[in-house]
């Protein structure tokens, strides 16, 4: 199999001895299952190249056969393909097996990689639980600066080596490249003041506003730069109750608003403070949470609210929107402009939470302190034990708990874990995903 790279994307080559987990790491990074995985050495015979991305940065990854030195013709050809991948690459992941320890073959490969002079990250694989961290310390003697202990199978530590890879392959060139580019959808009932709010935010009458509900029939995209950060706002038609979407334009408006929510990263939910929290407001907030978005709650028309009415409204928010209690709230007046510009710091704050990644060491410390000894009930007559926790993704932050009981956790424990994650690491304004998987035996 031959492959010609595009020349536009940087290339990461995954190399190492046979059967150290190169294909498993390739599958983990690319999210594909094209590379065969087996305990039999030498399963990968050709170079396999796939595109991948990490935190918005794109690159290619090449999976190679094991590097070895013997007289077998097939083994020699596999090594030639691996060497070709190394020559073409911009960065090398040198994978080794923590269970085997440092071998003579590892030393030989390391010597060859040092001669080539390309950046190398050592991936000490099959560190399958936090309790085994530190077992890869002997690999530092190979003389490479960066050594990462990972479990390609479970995803443990893979985030950290990819973070480092992105820093090497995509160093920031200037302030513009590191600026925030968040997409925000404005949601709410018809006539809640969405277009008026966005006009005031922009400082100009860019959108048609009217007291007649439903003036906005389609989504409108607008770019705004504030405090050095770029924001992409999407104004939408109001999401009506199902029973009120009788005309074709109304139905299309709701469909477009839902589609805009899917594409956005942050949902600004605008509520008519004079009217109070309605069932439809809760439905809209539920859409945003179900889609896994960061959320900012904007309580509009505060110029019409007395101090007593504001207190009543706070109580309504606490009771009817308790499921998005993590969302910061801001009282605004789209009509007068009061507090409208204060939305930008909130957007920046929730975007940072939405893209936050907790390091493996921080997660391990959190686990040991908060989760390791918590009683979680029993499953099939045995106590449920949490083994460890990983964070495989962001946007929104996603966590995986490994237990001896698979997904057999009561919802109250999920709520406790989410609350503790927020207490320890913040995550203000963003949805958090938590999944449970069975820990591998052995």
pLDDT computed for residue 138 by the predictor? 82
Mean pLDDT throughout 280-293? 91
pLDDT, tens digit, for every residue of 24-78?
A: 999 999 876 544 333 434 433 445 788 888 877 889 999 886 555 554 433 444 4
Q: Which stretch of 179-183, 197-201, 314-318, 330-334 has the lowest confidence by average pLDDT?
A: 179-183
Rounded distance between C-alpha atoms, residue 64 and residue 87, angstroms: 12
By CB neighbour count within 10 A (0-12 exposed, 13-18 middle, 19+ buried), where does 279 fall? exposed
Residue 320 pLDDT greater than 80, yes or no: yes
For the chain, give the percent of residues with pLDDT over 70: 75
Rounded distance between C-alpha atoms, residue 108 and residue 111, angstroms: 5
Residue 380 pLDDT greater than 80, yes or no: no
CB 360 within 8 A of CB 159: yes
pLDDT computed for residue 238 by the predictor? 59
Task: Give the tokens for residue 368.
Answer: 């040991």
Q: What is the mean pLDDT of the chain?
A: 78
The CA-based angle 27-29-32, given to 5 degrees, is 40
Residue 2 pLDDT greater than 60, yes or no: no
Task: Give the tokens for residue 432.
Answer: 């958090």
Q: Which stretch of 43-47, 250-254, 342-346 has the lowest confidence by average pLDDT?
A: 43-47
pLDDT, tens digit, for every residue of 394-404?
A: 889 988 887 77
Residue 229 pLDDT greater than 50, yes or no: yes
Domains of the chain: 11-169 (3.40.50.300), 181-354 (3.40.50.300), 360-438 (3.30.300.20)
The continuous run of DSSP H or E covering 96 comes out as strand 91-97
pLDDT, tens digit, for every residue of 253-279?
A: 566 667 778 888 999 999 999 899 998
pLDDT computed for residue 173 by the predictor? 46
Q: What's this model's pTM, rounded to 2 decimal places?
A: 0.59
Residue 286: pLDDT band with limits 50, 70, 90: very high
Residue 223 pLDDT greater than 90, yes or no: no
């Amino acid at each position: 199999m031959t492959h010609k790279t595009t020349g536009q994307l940087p290339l990461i080559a995954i190399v190492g001895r046979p059967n150290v987990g190169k294909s498993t790491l390739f599958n983990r990074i690319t999210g594909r299952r094209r590379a065969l995985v087996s305990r039999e050495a030498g399963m990968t015979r050709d170079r396999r190249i796939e595109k991948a991305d990490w935190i918005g940065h794109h690159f290619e990854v090449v999976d190679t056969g094991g590097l070895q030195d013997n007289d077998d013709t097939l083994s020699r050809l596999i090594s030639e393909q691996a060497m070709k991948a190394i020559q073409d690459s911009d960065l090398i992941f040198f994978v080794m097996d923590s269970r085997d320890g440092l071998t003579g073959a590892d030393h030989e490969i390391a010597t060859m990689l040092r001669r080539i002079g390309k950046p190398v990250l050592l991936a000490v694989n099959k560190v399958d639980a936090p309790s085994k961290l530190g077992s890869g310390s002997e690999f530092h003697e190979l003389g490479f600066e960066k050594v990462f202990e990972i479990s390609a199978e479970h995803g443990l530590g893979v985030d950290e080596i990819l973070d480092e890879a992105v820093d090497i392959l995509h160093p920031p060139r200037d302030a513009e490249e590191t600026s925030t580019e968040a997409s925000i959808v404005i949601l709410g009932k018809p006539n809640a003041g969405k277009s008026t709010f966005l006009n005031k935010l922009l400082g100009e009458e860019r959108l048609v506003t009217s007291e007649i509900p439903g003036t906005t029939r389609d989504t409108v995209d607008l770019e705004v730069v504030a405090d050095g950060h770029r924001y992409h706002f999407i104004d939408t038609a109001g999401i009506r109750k199902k029973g009120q979407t009788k005309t074709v334009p109304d139905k299309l408006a709701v469909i477009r608003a839902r589609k805009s929510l899917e594409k956005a990263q942050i949902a600004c939910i605008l509520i008519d403070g004079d009217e109070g929290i309605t069932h439809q407001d809760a439905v809209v907030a539920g859409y945003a949470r179900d889609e896994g978005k960061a959320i900012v709650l904007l309580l509009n028309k505060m110029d019409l609210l007395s101090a007593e009415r504001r207190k009543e409204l706070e109580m309504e928010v606490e009771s009817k929107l308790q499921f998005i209690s993590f969302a910061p709230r801001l009282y605004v007046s789209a009509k007068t402009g009061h507090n409208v510009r204060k939305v930008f710091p909130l957007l920046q704050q929730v975007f940072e939470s939405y893209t936050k990644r907790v390091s493996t060491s921080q997660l391990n410390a959190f686990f040991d302190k908060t989760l390791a000894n918590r009683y979680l009930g029993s499953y099939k007559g045995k106590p449920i034990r949490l083994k460890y926790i990983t964070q495989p993704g962001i946007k929104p932050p996603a966590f995986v708990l490994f237990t001896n009981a698979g997904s057999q956790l009561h919802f109250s424990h999920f709520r406790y874990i989410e609350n503790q994650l927020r207490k320890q690491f913040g995550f203000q304004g963003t949805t958090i995903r938590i999944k449970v998987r069975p820990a591998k035996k052995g």
